[in-house]
């Protein structure tokens, strides 16, 4: 068992270019916490926060390359976060998104290899299937770790409020939808097109 874990760490390290410490615990260590949305929802939430990190409420959304009257509220404004909470959320979200991105390259390579084997009617080695499972478990651990760190930083009450917001938006998976700003002037090209 120990030598298999070491081999898996080497394989995952070579394939994905990430730290082998991600593969050191077993699948039983990744458990879904009661009352929390599944990890894919939090992963999507973290990705959206990371994309919006550093933006301002006044940044217009581009439509066909042109500014529009639509804006997107920052997570801080949308969730009513303090400056410190917003900074913690942005840092954790950016870190989670970066760590998940490292896994994506390895998953793409393994998925491509698997598809090639299916096309050529070759048997899919158990190591390939296991490597994909291990990467999925690593991603689950990454997200779970960041959720736990977020909960510790926010405290139970503030985290519960954040979790309720995430649950309320999980169906459409757009946690920060575009908003029309009636105070923003209509861009010149858009105004000319309306005439």
Would 15 be classed as within a structural domain? no
Domain count, the chain: 1
- Cα–Cα distance between 195 and 192 in angstroms, integer? 6
Would 79 be classed as within a structural domain? yes
Radius of gyration of the chain (CA): 21
DSSP-assigned letters across all residues of 42-62? HHHHHHHHHHHTT--TTPEEE
Would 191 be classed as within a structural domain? no
Would 170 be classed as within a structural domain? yes
Would 195 be classed as within a structural domain? no
Q: What is the pLDDT along the chain (195 residues), one digit of tens a residue?
A: 444 333 333 333 333 333 333 333 333 333 455 556 688 899 999 999 998 886 666 566 788 888 888 877 788 888 999 999 999 999 999 999 999 999 988 999 989 988 888 888 878 788 888 988 999 999 999 999 999 999 999 999 999 999 999 999 888 888 988 877 666 665 565 455 555
- Cα–Cα distance between 32 and 175 in angstroms, integer? 21
- Cα–Cα distance between 153 and 160 in angstroms, integer? 12
Q: Strands 60-63, 178-180: parallel, antiparallel or unpaired by DSSP?
A: unpaired
Q: If you search the block for the tokens 């139970």, which residue do you land on?
A: 156
Angle at 33 between CA 29 and CA 34, to 5 degrees: 145
Residues spanned by the domain of 169: 36-104+132-184
Would 30 be classed as within a structural domain? no
**Tokens, residue 44:** 């999507």
Would 2 be classed as within a structural domain? no
Q: For residue 49, how many C-alpha atoms fall within 13 Å in the half-sphere facing its CB?
A: 29
Would 168 be classed as within a structural domain? yes
């Amino acid at each position: 068992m120990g030598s298999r874990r070491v081999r898996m760490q080497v394989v995952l390290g070579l394939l994905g270019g990430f730290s082998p410490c991600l593969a050191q615990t077993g699948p039983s260590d990744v458990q879904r916490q009661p009352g929390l949305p599944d990890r894919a929802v939090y992963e999507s939430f973290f990705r959206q926060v990371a994309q919006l990190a550093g933006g301002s409420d006044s940044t217009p959304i581009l439509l066909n390359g042109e500014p529009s009257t639509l804006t997107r509220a920052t997570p801080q404004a949308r969730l009513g976060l303090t400056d410190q909470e917003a900074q913690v959320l942005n840092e954790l979200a950016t870190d989670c998104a970066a760590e998940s991105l490292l896994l994506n390259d390895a998953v793409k390579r393994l998925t491509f290899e698997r598809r090639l084997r299916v096309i050529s009617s070759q048997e899919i080695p158990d190591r390939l299937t296991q490597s994909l499972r291990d990467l999925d478990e690593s991603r689950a651990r990454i997200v779970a770790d960041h959720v736990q760190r977020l909960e510790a930083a926010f405290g139970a009450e503030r985290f519960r409020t954040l979790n309720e917001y995430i649950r309320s938006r999980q169906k459409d998976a757009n946690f920060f939808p575009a908003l029309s700003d009636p105070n923003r002037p209509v861009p010149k090209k858009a105004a000319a097109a309306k005439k």
